[in-house]
Structure 1
Amino acid sequence: MTANETGLPVAEPTEVRRHIGRLAREHRGQLILTIILYGLAAAAGLGAPWLLGVLIDSIDTTNATGTINAVGLAIGGFVLLQSVFAGLSHYVSGRFGETVMAELREDFVERSLRLPLSTIERAGTGDLMTRSSRDVSQLGQTLRRAAPETIVCVITLALILVALALMNPLLALVTVVTVVPVLWWPARWYLKRARPAYLEENKAYGQINEELAATVEGARTIEALRWQRRRIAVGDGDIATSYRTERRTLFLRSILFPSLDFGVTLPLATGLLVGGVMYGSELATLGQVTAALLYINQAGEPMFMLLAWLDELQTGSASLGRVLGVGSKGAAAPEGSKRAEHVDTTVNVTDVRYAYVPGHDVLHGVSLDVAAGERLAIVGPSGAGKSTLGRLIAGIDSPGDGRIDVAGRDVAEMSLEDLRREVLLVTQEHHVFSGTLRDNLALARTSATDDEIAAALTAVDAGDWLTGLPDGLDTLVGSGNLRVTPAQAQQIALARLVLADPDVLVLDEATSLLDPRAARHLERHLASVLEGRTVIAIAHRLHTAHDADRIAVVDDGRIIELGSHEALLDADGQYAHLWRSWQG
């Protein structure tokens, strides 16, 4: 794997080749049938030139008319066979390409869903969007056209060379000697430079998407701060970078394609010259020379197309490397052992340090023990490190130093599947997918029944809202459907939490979009539903802290106070000051 600046790796060429080999082995039957059908189509296409040579040499025979009729019928038969085999081969190769493409799409989705959130945040959504759209599309084009057409060209050229050698070995030798030097060096020069150039081109597209998404999402902020010109300048810079990368790949093609034109024309001219000399010296008949020249001319198109498809294959190779890089080693969550059933859900944070930028720690040696079933509130001023600590406990990020254990297991060593069963993080940012309300909630547990889903909504104080929906759980919500308020989206997120039923919950301002009275009512509802779970609540509203078993006060990346609400009030420290200020 090679990491790029976005943070998502790109598969090395050796890994790409191994993956292609694995796909070929898994679909061996379809691949062999495709090659056989293309081979038969190419073989059928070789009959006409040979028969034309026979026809020319038989013109002066006594039975010329009969020969002409027979040759004409034979040529028609070969053309018909070639059409049938070509049609079948295109159909089979099309099915083969679509099958492999479907598997790659499914694999890409699985890899993307396994990515830790921290990896996506570091990489930027633009890069992931480009890989899921442009790279997958280019890969589809390669699988549907470039790969099958390359096979066709190779088979056709091999058969033409064999036919030419049988017809006239000297002309076959002349063709090979003429073509190879002319095409070898340009192709070698191109292949050495094409893959890095296409990777840079795709990365530039990813950066454009990243900045465009950031501009759209932050449109109100940009307008409020009058940053329109600044964002336009950023976009212009990204487009300029993309323009430079496009020019680089265009330059490579401008060297390759003229070489192909020359390489295709030269052997025909040379063959015509040598064939004329051989005919004049009676070393070959006119029919043999004609058939040989037709074979050389016939080889021109597959030869040109084979090298022309190199461009498409390099694009596809770069795209496959980027697709395989998603979820690969360095991007995916660590693998772990199978989950064991845990009764003890203690959380142990031991001397944890963390920095978003190397050398600038936001957490400084934090240690904290949370007992199983305990409700801990984390409070403190903005920027103190509360959310960072919550993300580390939830396994979104890994600590730079120190260790975090949940039920005695190091969070950094747990597989993503195990981690999400043990620990869930709910923040104030929620997403409602386009679809039914049932589908949105069943994401947390696909086996949940309608009664369980309705009970989860009731548990988060959304039962009345559900009753008032026109189609109940079948109501379409999300983009273009029923508008869901931010508060209702937050309730959907919390209902997912109830359905997921993890051992440890990290709530980061999970009720911030509700008004204070509704939030307090909802938190009391949740407290009864989540009884026995270990809950770590990051709160700005101190009534959340008041209801907790213990409170940790974080300031400047350190825990400066820890205790119950009453104990911290008696200590008259920072928490007591915050409480009095909040009480007004």
Structure 2
Amino acid sequence: MTATTQQALPVASGRETAREVWRLSRGHRLRLAAVAGLGIVSAAVDLIGPVAAGFLVDRVQTGTAGLGTVLTVATTMAVAAVLGAAGTAATIVLATRAYHAILAALREQLVARALTLPQHRVERAGTGDLISRSSDDVTAVADAAPAVIPVVTVTAFTIVVSLGGLAALEWPYAAAFAVVLPVYVLAMRWYLRTGPPVYRAERAAMSARAQQILESQRGYATVLGFGLTEQRHRAVMAASWGVAVQSLRARTVQSMLNARLNVGECLSLAAVLVVGFVLIEGGTSTVGAATTAMLLVLRLLGPVNQLLFVIDTLQSALASLSRMIGVATIPADAAAGPSPAGAAAGPSPAPGAGTSVRLHEVAFSYDDGPLVLDAVTLDIGSGERVAVVGASGAGKTTLATVIAGIHPPDAGTVARPERTAVITQEVHVFAGSLRDNLTLAAPDATDREIEDAMETTGSAGLFDLLPDGLDSVVGAGGHPLTDAQAQQLALARLLLADPDLAILDEATAEAGSAHAGLLDRATDAALAGRTGLVIAHRLSQAAACDRIVVMEHGRITEEGTHDELLSAHGIYARLWEAWDSRRGSA
């Protein structure tokens, strides 16, 4: 596979795309064989019209055509037209069903694979890239169906059968048309050399635009808070103009291809007319045969132009298809990418007896930036609750993501339980029922278990606010939840999921001090009986933990209980004094 950048998600090569489409066609190949057979028969039936017209011209020229001849020819042409149209329609319907069935299977595979990609890989590639592949690219492939299917499944058969009919009629006519074919070949060679890079650039520009729009939407509060509206507007406009420029390039290529096809059409008609004149003058052909040849060529020119011209659409769809397959076929064992130099390869070693989490000499940096974690060694015992505190930028959240497996370490080893759950301060409420939101990680949970989890986390009061209880629709388009309610919901999810290790990364920071006590009690209930790692926003949370880890500049500088660290008069003691004084003054 190839990629536009070292960190970008992969793009499948032409061979890989063809191999994957062939694999996905399994179960539809009998239908595809029926498409081919029916398409050839329909194209052969359509030859009856030109042959009948040539026959009538010869009979008229010899004076042997009567009313019966005209009616017979007209009836034959009408029946052939109806049968040909019916066969063509059936061919398109069968091909469309197969096409969309294969596309649906690919879309499901793409979504399933995208949902299992490590977060660090998606972030480095840009979330907009993945969203573009699962939306814009899927739409491009689906929208290509009305233009591509009739051409590929019908006109291809028409070209083959019509060329055979020309050769059977008078080989010089077929030779005359064949002489002009290099014009089409040259047009295609030019287009295949020029078109694909233009369309790839267009799709890449769309990905960049999606990324800018997504960042502006996700960072809406930051944009408003720092007065960055104009700056973000310029960034989105610049990305949009990038799409416009690449789209204009693509349309220019399209127009240039159209001009080359028009030249080929004029030369084809002229060549057949000249050959017909020569053959009739020499007495080796008839006016009827020349008429049939011209009708066949006219019948050929449309499909030839359509087949070549639809390649414009096909190239764009293939570019999108390759991007989709590039993600859908990422091997599960390669999703996390190659192990960084010095990092442990393969699965993490199991922690020792009585230990739930073990980090040894762990280092991590974002891309080529400075170390965010530097030689971190930490053991967390089974059932122990550890808080991580420190100034902003100390590496607390990065430590949590490395322990959770979201980011692999650059060096060192990380061992953690297989059943690990993470709650961050950005709690998402999915559009759907309250029950669906709560059972995301525990689909077999009963209503009684759900109600117990809500009671334990103090969120049972939601039943009094929501009209339909667990069936009430929440999230977008439904009943809005406050920050505190959303965080209670997340803690109830945690209880239902029942992980061995729970990581709370400032999970109750967004609700504000008014609900601090309520959420602290909910957190205590959710962590009871399990190993917990708490990135503490409020030091009162840290004080309630079994052990506190203080971080500074990516290193662990202090460890101990709340009382031990206060007695040490170190960093934690100063942080506590500052926090306690602010709390007292408030």
Answer yes or no: same fold by TM over 0.5: yes
Deviation at 1:384, TM superposition (A): 0.3
The correspondence for 2:75, drawn from 70, 73, 76, is 73
Q: Find the aligned partners of 1:403 and 1:40 in 2 and give their Cα distance.
A: 65
Deviation at 1:325, TM superposition (A): 2.4
Q: Find the aligned partners of 2:246 and 2:164 in 1 and give their Cα distance.
A: 42
Secondary structure at 2:406's aligned position in 1?
coil
Counterpart residue type for residue 449 of structure 2: E
Q: Deviations over 1:115-141 (max 9, x none)?
A: 222223233332223222221111012
Are 2:95 and 2:149, in contact at CA under 8 Å, matched by a contact in 1?
A: no
Rate the CA distance shift 1:489–1:31 in 2: closer, same or farther, 3 A. same
Q: Find the aligned partners of 1:52 and 1:342 in 2 and give their Cα distance.
A: 89
Counterpart residue type for residue 107 of structure 1: Q
Are 1:353 and 1:399, in contact at CA under 8 Å, matched by a contact in 2?
A: yes
Partner of 1:96: 98
Q: Find the aligned partners of 2:329 and 2:118 in 1 and give their Cα distance.
A: 12
Rate the CA distance shift 1:140–1:548 in 2: closer, same or farther, 3 A. same
Partner of 1:158: 160
Q: Find the aligned partners of 2:146 and 2:118 in 1 and give their Cα distance.
A: 32
Partner of 1:373: 383
Counterpart residue type for residue 506 of structure 1: I
Are 1:352 and 1:403, in contact at CA under 8 Å, matched by a contact in 2?
A: yes
Secondary structure at 1:326's aligned position in 2?
helix
Are 2:355 and 2:379, in contact at CA under 8 Å, matched by a contact in 1?
A: no
Structure 2 matches for 1:212-291, cutoff 5 A?
Answer: 212-291=213-292
Partner of 2:335: 332
Are 1:52 and 1:287, in contact at CA under 8 Å, matched by a contact in 2?
A: yes
Partner of 1:14: 15
Q: Find the aligned partners of 2:556 and 2:498 in 1 and give their Cα distance.
A: 29
The correspondence for 1:388, drawn from 390, 398, 408, is 398
Are 2:457 and 2:521, in contact at CA under 8 Å, matched by a contact in 1?
A: no
Deviation at 1:498, TM superposition (A): 1.4
Are 1:93 and 1:144, in contact at CA under 8 Å, matched by a contact in 2?
A: no
Are 1:376 and 1:549, in contact at CA under 8 Å, matched by a contact in 2?
A: yes
Are 1:380 and 1:553, in contact at CA under 8 Å, matched by a contact in 2?
A: yes
Counterpart residue type for residue 499 of structure 2: P
Rate the CA distance shift 1:579–1:228 in 2: closer, same or farther, 3 A. closer
Are 2:356 and 2:381, in contact at CA under 8 Å, matched by a contact in 1?
A: yes
Q: Find the aligned partners of 2:270 and 2:375 in 1 and give their Cα distance.
A: 78
- Say how many residue pairs are matched: 570
Partner of 1:547: 544
Secondary structure at 2:466's aligned position in 1?
coil
Rate the CA distance shift 1:242–1:177 in 2: closer, same or farther, 3 A. same
Counterpart residue type for residue 332 of structure 1: A
Counterpart residue type for residue 230 of structure 1: Q
Structure 2 matches for 1:439-458, cutoff 5 A?
Answer: 439-458=436-455
1:558 aligns with 2:555: yes
Counterpart residue type for residue 381 of structure 2: A
Q: Find the aligned partners of 2:265 and 2:179 in 1 and give their Cα distance.
A: 13
**Structure 1 unmatched runs, 5+:** 408-418
Secondary structure at 2:198's aligned position in 1?
helix
Q: Find the aligned partners of 1:364 and 1:94 in 2 and give their Cα distance.
A: 57
Partner of 2:4: 4
Deviation at 1:250, TM superposition (A): 2.2
Are 1:459 and 1:526, in contact at CA under 8 Å, matched by a contact in 2?
A: no
Partner of 1:410: none
Q: Find the aligned partners of 2:258 and 2:371 in 1 and give their Cα distance.
A: 54
Q: Find the aligned partners of 1:394 and 1:241 in 2 and give their Cα distance.
A: 38
Rate the CA distance shift 1:343–1:276 in 2: closer, same or farther, 3 A. farther
Counterpart residue type for residue 4 of structure 1: T
Are 1:101 and 1:143, in contact at CA under 8 Å, matched by a contact in 2?
A: no
Rate the CA distance shift 1:332–1:204 in 2: closer, same or farther, 3 A. same
Secondary structure at 2:144's aligned position in 1?
helix
More displaced stretch, 181-190 vs 125-134: 125-134
Are 1:545 and 1:565, in contact at CA under 8 Å, matched by a contact in 2?
A: yes
More displaced stretch, 372-381 vs 13-22: 13-22
Structure 2 matches for 1:117-136, cutoff 5 A?
Answer: 117-136=119-138
Counterpart residue type for residue 376 of structure 2: V
- Percent identity of paired positions between Structure 1 and Structure 2: 38
Are 1:115 and 1:327, in contact at CA under 8 Å, matched by a contact in 2?
A: no
Q: Deviations over 1:277-306 (max 9, x none)?
A: 101100111111111111111100000000
The correspondence for 2:532, drawn from 532, 535, 539, is 535
Partner of 2:32: 31
Deviation at 1:202, TM superposition (A): 1.2
Q: Deviations over 1:457-508 (max 9, x none)?
A: 2221101222432110111111222111111111111211111111111111
Counterpart residue type for residue 215 of structure 1: S
Deviation at 1:525, TM superposition (A): 4.3
Deviation at 1:220, TM superposition (A): 4.5
Q: Deviations over 1:497-524 (max 9, x none)?
A: 1111111111111111335574444444
The correspondence for 2:507, drawn from 504, 507, 510, is 510
Secondary structure at 1:9's aligned position in 2?
coil
Query: TM-score, normalization: structure 2?
Result: 0.91
Q: Find the aligned partners of 2:326 and 2:565 in 1 and give their Cα distance.
A: 50
Are 1:98 and 1:144, in contact at CA under 8 Å, matched by a contact in 2?
A: no
Q: Find the aligned partners of 1:359 and 1:385 in 2 and give their Cα distance.
A: 13
Are 2:351 and 2:416, in contact at CA under 8 Å, matched by a contact in 1?
A: no
Deviation at 1:90, TM superposition (A): 2.2
Query: TM-score, normalization: structure 1?
Result: 0.92
Q: Deviations over 1:239-291 (max 9, x none)?
A: 33223212322232222111111112211111011101101100111111111
1:348 aligns with 2:388: no
Rate the CA distance shift 1:346–1:334 in 2: closer, same or farther, 3 A. farther
Counterpart residue type for residue 573 of structure 1: G
Counterpart residue type for residue 113 of structure 1: L
Partner of 2:580: 583
Rate the CA distance shift 1:148–1:332 in 2: closer, same or farther, 3 A. farther
Partner of 1:477: 474
Are 1:457 and 1:466, in contact at CA under 8 Å, matched by a contact in 2?
A: no
Deviation at 1:328, TM superposition (A): 4.4
Are 1:380 and 1:540, in contact at CA under 8 Å, matched by a contact in 2?
A: no
Q: Find the aligned partners of 1:273 and 1:91 in 2 and give their Cα distance.
A: 40
Q: Find the aligned partners of 1:378 and 1:216 in 2 and give their Cα distance.
A: 30
Secondary structure at 2:377's aligned position in 1?
strand
Q: Find the aligned partners of 2:470 and 2:336 in 1 and give their Cα distance.
A: 33
Q: Find the aligned partners of 2:427 and 2:539 in 1 and give their Cα distance.
A: 22
Counterpart residue type for residue 554 of structure 1: M
Counterpart residue type for residue 263 of structure 1: G
Secondary structure at 1:430's aligned position in 2?
coil
1:403 aligns with 2:410: no
Q: Find the aligned partners of 2:275 and 2:100 in 1 and give their Cα distance.
A: 46
Q: Find the aligned partners of 2:69 and 2:154 in 1 and give their Cα distance.
A: 32
**Structure 2 unmatched runs, 5+:** 339-345, 582-586
* Backbone CA RMSD of aligned residues: 2.5
Counterpart residue type for residue 416 of structure 2: V
The correspondence for 1:108, drawn from 94, 107, 110, is 110
Counterpart residue type for residue 21 of structure 1: W
Q: Deviations over 1:308-362 (max 9, x none)?
A: 111111011100111122254388347989x999996621111111111414111
Q: Find the aligned partners of 1:327 and 1:283 in 2 and give their Cα distance.
A: 60
Q: Find the aligned partners of 1:114 and 1:218 in 2 and give their Cα distance.
A: 24
Are 1:264 and 1:303, in contact at CA under 8 Å, matched by a contact in 2?
A: no
Q: Deviations over 1:182-225 (max 9, x none)?
A: 01112112112322221211111122222223233434443443
Q: Find the aligned partners of 2:136 and 2:519 in 1 and give their Cα distance.
A: 44
Secondary structure at 1:463's aligned position in 2?
coil
The correspondence for 1:433, drawn from 407, 419, 430, is 430
